[in-house]
Chain A
Amino acid sequence: MPITVKTFASLGEAASALAADRGARFLAGGTLVMRAINEGDTSFSTVVRSTDRGFAEIRPASARVTLGAGVTMAQIMANRELAFLHPVARAVGGPAIRNMATVGGNLFAPSPYGDFTAALLALDATLSMQGSYGGRETPLEEFLANRERNNGLVSSVTFNRPATPEAFRFRKVARVKPKGISVLSIAAHLPMNGGRIAGARVAYGAMAPTPIRAKSVERALEGRALDEAGTAAAVAVAAEGTSPATDALASAWYRREMIAVHLKRLLAGTA
């Protein structure tokens, strides 16, 4: 079935067109929507896109970083001020996918995809949503909980730069290297205050239908040093709150067993 493609100069117009048509899907990099078209998905008949320049802009202010939802993984890897995110962007797809796949699209990538979103969760990101009634800010966690019911348009993602480069850690486990889909991924922001963790954020990819925060792990780490005892307390509750899928890559059981192993390695800072 042919698709109607509507292109708008501004994100606001695109958001209005999206809100006015239940059968419309927004296209950014194409890695999700074009794939759906190729597979004969008939759940949408209109594709909305925007040529808004701000949509693909990186604004790395000193403490706050804003990424337009149309920023690609390759753009992130080319930006020296975003070095802490380079391992995350590099973990997404192969070189061609990284030239196409966007920050905004990754928010909608079904599990086991969405490694970049796990990193954004650990960074406590908020989303700017462009609705037909203007813009609003939404915490990423809240957005993910209602992901399938959202009809607004994500225009950008904002988060605080990690206090130090070492405070942010990311790890993706895949069976094929260098390009493989996640068995699981873990992102953590662990700011230290006087040798103790203050404000721990730990997030998982591929451990639930959407990327999730590992809140039991965060609680176990809070106020602790990153020593053997602190790590052991966190690792003991690693699988709490997770509901991973069994798929061609791994069983749910395997993912639950492995999350503790890889959380331990991530906290120890070992490969």
Chain B
Amino acid sequence: MSKTPVQFRHNGFDVAVFVDGGASLLTALRDGVGDTSPKFGCGQGTCGVCSVLIDGELHLSCITLAETVGGRSVETADGLKAGAALHPLQTAFMENFAAQCGFCTPGMLMAAKALLDRNPAPTRADVIEAISGNICRCTGYEPIINAILAAAGNRQRA
């Protein structure tokens, strides 16, 4: 079976990878690009740990066919930081103890970024809605909600 070439923008850089027929974007990112920040959880679109932004929209990379992102822009949690400087969301997650085991964190960060990019001043209900597709088995969600609200607050003050 021949492989299919896919070219896309990954966290601001052009990348090209070869994928097997039917391969997911998650596989292309982890095995092809070498970005292991999006995780494989359920493979069903239920848990949200594989969440990435495609052209700024939140998508689940495990149920996205890799070749559908050809020519598009894909952002992952790995692209949030600027050099050694953490993204405000990452800082807020750290300060609010929003990561416990950390497995859901990359997906939570991308769901939160998708929210704040569109709505810089979300209510608590907006935040709960925005991360409703992301499962966390450790924190009970409250620290994550607080972190996202804190990041929104910090951003407004900045």
Contact = CB atoms under 8 A, between A and B. Distances in A.
**Real complex partners, A and B?**
yes
A74 interface: yes
Contacts of A7: 67
B29 interface: no
Interface string A221-233: 0000000000000
Contacts of A38: 24, 43-44, 62-63
Given A5-B21, A35-B45, A178-B128, A96 B65 contact: no
Nearest to A179: B132
Interface in A142-199: 178-179
B1 interface: yes
Given A30-B65, A96-B111, A5 B60 contact: no
Contact of B51 (A37, A39, A96): A96
Given A3-B22, A5-B4, A38-B43, A95 B65 contact: no
Contacts of B57: 74, 99
Given A38-B44, A94-B48, A178-B132, 18 more contacts: A4-B21, A34-B24, A34-B45, A34-B62, A35-B45, A38-B24, A39-B43, A47-B22, A49-B68, A74-B57, A94-B132, A95-B114, A95-B129, A96-B45, A96-B111, A97-B60, A100-B64, A179-B133
Q: Is the interface of B mostly helix, strand, loop or mixed?
A: mixed
B59 interface: yes
A135 interface: no
Given A2-B21, A3-B21, A30-B63, A94 B134 contact: yes
A209 B20 CA distance: 34
Contact of B44 (A2, A35, A49, A96): A35
Nearest to A177: B132
A60 interface: no
B64 A34 contact: yes
Interface in A201-235: none
A99 B21 contact: no
Interface of B: 1, 4, 20-22, 24, 43-45, 48, 51, 57-60, 62-65, 67-68, 111, 114-115, 128-130, 132-134
B24 A95 contact: no
A5 B64 contact: no
A9 to B, nearest CB: 14
A179 B129 CA distance: 8
A27 interface: yes
A31 interface: yes
Nearest to B130: A95
A167 B129 CA distance: 27
Contact of A30 (B43, B64, B114, B133): B64
A7 B51 CA distance: 25
Contacts of B21: 2-5, 47
A54 interface: no
A224 B59 CA distance: 46
Given A30-B65, A49-B65, A178 B129 contact: yes
A49 to B, nearest CB: 7
Contact of B133 (A27, A39, A94): A94
A37 B22 CA distance: 7
Given A5-B67, A35-B44, A39-B43, A95 B132 contact: yes
A63 B45 CA distance: 35
B63 to A, nearest CB: 4
Contacts of B130: 95
A31 B45 contact: yes
